[in-house]
Amino acid sequence: MMNSSRNRQFHEIAGQLRLIWKEPILFVFIILIFYFLFTFVAYPLFQVIKYSIFIDGQWDFSNYLAIFSKRYYFQPFINSIILGICTATIGTIAGFIFAYALTRTPLPFKSFFRLTATFPIISPPFVVALAAILLFGRAGALTPWLKNIIGNYSVYGLGGLILVETIAYSPTAFMVLYGILEAIDPSLEEASMDLGAARIKIFSSVTLPLATPGIASAWLLVFIQSMADFGNPMVISGNYRVLSVQAFLQITGMYDLPRGSTLAILLLVPTLIAFFVQKYWVSRKSYVTVTGKPTGATIKNLEWYIKLPVYGACLLYAGIVILFYGTIVYGSFQTLWGVNPTLTLQNYVEMFEVGKDYLIDSITLSTIATPITGIVGIFISFLIIRKKFIGRGLMEFISMLTFAVPGTVVGIGYILAFNQESVVMPVVLTGTAWIIILLLVFRNMPVGIRSGIAALQQIDPAIEEASTDLGADSNTTFRKITLPMIAPAFFSGLAYSFVKAMTAISAIIFVVSGQWNLITVAILGFVDNTQYAHAAAMSMLLIVIVLIALGLIQFIVGKIGKGVRTTEILG
């Protein structure tokens, strides 16, 4: 019996190989993708691990021993975890309130609130930290007022970090929870009410339990982002040392690659754990499947004692977001923040003189990286969902890995892996534009893959089979049938990749060079020199460019999306 089952497995594998063999182009693509994934995802990661445990070619755990025995090294680990937990908790609560208000209450101006809830996603995260300094820093606009209330304080440190990271990353929680709450059928809540439950009971016995897996997911995702955040701590952490910044300083400040790598591993472990818990455990517990099909939400008359606090919280949060970004706008036009409030365009002129090369590099490299990210991402999602081949699970695993790995770890991995020739990459990439492009492509791909997977899962495989059945090979089917149907997902993936490429900082800061540099690095430089007005002006410019690009992609989707109504016939 055992033997025959093994025999059969062998036959199946042989059969699959035969099929692949008959589609040589597909086969070549699969091999190519594996090569790229191994070289640009797995290999750098492997290098970081290697550098942390090998010293002069010998197994040696002295790096780890040093870190665990010296408080100086160990403290950042504790600090990062504390920061992650606080940010995740507050961010998830804020995201939930917003998601609840938007899906379950007749909140007026919903699209306005949705915009403010998601806006931080399209700005570089550390812009929030910059705004916090302008508002609450030593020369902050609101500093005297706040000092009156709470006495002496410093925005640099854990408190400031939690504030800015909550604003920067609660949108993630909001989006997850919005999807979940929207997918929970309101008739379940109506049923509960019909059976005699009061409002609070409905919430605690139906809504909350159904949303719990979503809440856990949101919490873990914000935790990962907060742990991995580099830009905000770089600007505002002060004496509160966190792993991402410490790893960066070890490498760029002290040229201590092994110790930097070891800190990176310490950063990697908790984020990876959180990621796998989220992906393989929490998401399986979910009762609701997010189909993208909104259920016919019926909004009942809510009592004032629910509306009042929920609306109040939304208003407060939206106010804070507007205050922060408004400060950036206002600050970018001031002659000298806190000293000379005369409005001027001088900052923009000076910023542009210094930063135009950075700007051109950023736009050029992002524009090259974005389509590659989109195409490779959508192709990988197609392979994962629709094709049977040996190693499919491995492909999915590796391509999702970059999503969980903090940028700092990836950046360190890239300099370790590509500043010398190796078997997998016979050319030195460090200092070239390619290393930046490749880093952008493989950092941002998981989102493209995810949206591709989501779109493909909604398309009946029979449609693609019909094409194959009519004589089209895999390539033709992909080009003529699959691609047009997932075009909207493809373009939203593109939009996201472009935004991420333009606003990237944590990994990219390791691979920029004199020749190729990026706008986010320039902004960070301005902040470092306390040229806050210039930093604000450049952030404004960046946000405007991103908005224009988003508008452009939206326009293209509108053009192409016409006539594509996949869901209608699939219904």
Partner 1 sequence: MKNNYLELKDLIKIFGSGRDSVTAVNNVSLKVNEGELVTLLGPSGCGKTTILRMISGFELPTSGKIFIDQEDVTTTPPNKRPTAMVFQNYALFPHMTVAQNIIYGPKIHGENSQSAKKKADDIMKLVGLEKFGNRSPSQLSGGQQQRVSLARSLIMEPKVLLLDEPLSNLDAKLRVSMRLEIRKLQQRVGITSIYVTHDQEEAMSLSDRVVILKDGVIQQIGTPLEVYARPDNCFVADFIGKANFLNTVVEDVTPDGDVTINLLEQKLIIPKAKKSFKKNDKAFLVLRPESIILEKKKPDTITGIIREIVFLGNQMTYIIEIAKQLVTVEMSNPQECESFENGEEVSIKLPVRSLHLLPWEEEK
Q: Which residues of 46-56 are buried (b: 16+ CB within 10 A; e: fewer)?
A: ebbbebbbeee
356 is an interface residue for partner 1 by CB under 8 A: no
- With CB under 8 A as the contact rule, the residue among 197, 313, 375, 463 that binds partner 1 is 463
- With CB under 8 A as the contact rule, the residue among 185, 303, 421, 469 that binds partner 1 is 469
Distances 482 to 119, 257, 271, 283, 487 between C-alpha atoms, Å: 31, 45, 34, 27, 8
564 is an interface residue for partner 1 by CB under 8 A: yes
Calpha distance 537→328 (Å, rounded): 8
- With CB under 8 A as the contact rule, the residue among 208, 460, 529, 555 that binds partner 1 is 460
- With CB under 8 A as the contact rule, the residue among 468, 513, 515, 529 that binds partner 1 is 468
- With CB under 8 A as the contact rule, the residue among 11, 138, 293, 356 that binds partner 1 is 11
| Sign of the alpha-carbon dihedral angle for 380, 383, 384, 390 | negative
8 is an interface residue for partner 1 by CB under 8 A: yes
DSSP annotation string for 507-534: THHHH--SSS--HHHHHHHHHHTT-HHH
19 is an interface residue for partner 1 by CB under 8 A: yes
CB of 169 to partner 1, least distance (A): 37
Calpha distance 372→145 (Å, rounded): 50
What residues pair up with 59 in beta bridges, in sequence order?
54
- With CB under 8 A as the contact rule, the residue among 144, 294, 426, 563 that binds partner 1 is 563
Q: Do residues 186 and 297 touch, judged by C-beta distance below 8 A?
A: yes
473 is an interface residue for partner 1 by CB under 8 A: yes
201 is an interface residue for partner 1 by CB under 8 A: no
Q: Which is nearer to partner 1, 15 or 326 (CB)?
A: 15
Q: Which is nearer to partner 1, 184 or 456 (CB)?
A: 456
350 is an interface residue for partner 1 by CB under 8 A: no
148 is an interface residue for partner 1 by CB under 8 A: no
Q: Do residues 374 and 495 touch, judged by C-beta distance below 8 A?
A: no
Q: Which is nearer to partner 1, 225 or 467 (CB)?
A: 467
Q: Which is nearer to partner 1, 24 or 371 (CB)?
A: 24
13 is an interface residue for partner 1 by CB under 8 A: no
Interhelix angle 532-561/487-503, rounded to 10 degrees, is 170
Q: Do residues 393 and 490 touch, judged by C-beta distance below 8 A?
A: no
Q: Which is nearer to partner 1, 194 or 568 (CB)?
A: 568
By CB under 8 A, the count of residues binding partner 1 is: 35
Distances 279 to 216, 218, 287, 309, 452 between C-alpha atoms, Å: 11, 11, 15, 33, 17
Q: Which stretch binds partner 1 (CB under 8 A): 81-89, 292-300, 373-381, 558-566?
A: 558-566
458 is an interface residue for partner 1 by CB under 8 A: no
Q: Which is nearer to partner 1, 195 or 570 (CB)?
A: 570
CB of 12 to partner 1, least distance (A): 7
Letters for 234-273 (x = contact with partner 1 by CB under 8 A, - = none) are ----------------------------------------
Which of 455, 447, 544 is closest to 497 using CA atoms? 447
| Sign of the alpha-carbon dihedral angle for 397, 399, 405, 408 | positive
462 is an interface residue for partner 1 by CB under 8 A: yes
- With CB under 8 A as the contact rule, the residue among 210, 222, 481, 557 that binds partner 1 is 481
- With CB under 8 A as the contact rule, the residue among 25, 308, 466, 547 that binds partner 1 is 466
Place of tokens 């002129």: 349
Q: What angle is formed at CA 322 by the lines to CA 317 and CA 326, rounded to 5 degrees?
A: 155
Q: What angle is formed at CA 42 by the lines to CA 38 and CA 45, rounded to 5 degrees?
A: 150
- With CB under 8 A as the contact rule, the residue among 12, 185, 303, 528 that binds partner 1 is 12
Distances 228 to 18, 121, 242, 270 between C-alpha atoms, Å: 44, 15, 10, 10
CB of 458 to partner 1, least distance (A): 11
Interhelix angle 71-104/110-118, rounded to 10 degrees, is 170
CB of 21 to partner 1, least distance (A): 10
Q: Do residues 541 and 532 touch, judged by C-beta distance below 8 A?
A: no
Pull the structure tokens for residue 331.
């600050």
Q: Which is nearer to partner 1, 292 or 341 (CB)?
A: 292
What values do phi and psi take at 435, rounded to 5? -65, -35
3 is an interface residue for partner 1 by CB under 8 A: no
Letters for 21-60 (x = contact with partner 1 by CB under 8 A, - = none) are -xx-------------------------------------
Give me Rg for the CA atoms of the chain. Answer: 25
Q: Which stretch binds partner 1 (CB under 8 A): 5-13, 28-36, 99-107, 336-344?
A: 5-13
291 is an interface residue for partner 1 by CB under 8 A: no
DSSP annotation string for 259-294: HHHHHHHHHHHHHHHHHHIIIIIIGGG-SS---S--
- With CB under 8 A as the contact rule, the residue among 139, 343, 552, 570 that binds partner 1 is 570
- With CB under 8 A as the contact rule, the residue among 472, 521, 545, 550 that binds partner 1 is 472
Q: Which stretch binds partner 1 (CB under 8 A): 78-86, 188-196, 461-469, 530-538?
A: 461-469
Residues that bind partner 1 (CB under 8 A): 5, 8-9, 11-12, 15-16, 18-19, 22-23, 460, 462-463, 465-473, 476, 480-481, 484-485, 563-566, 568-570
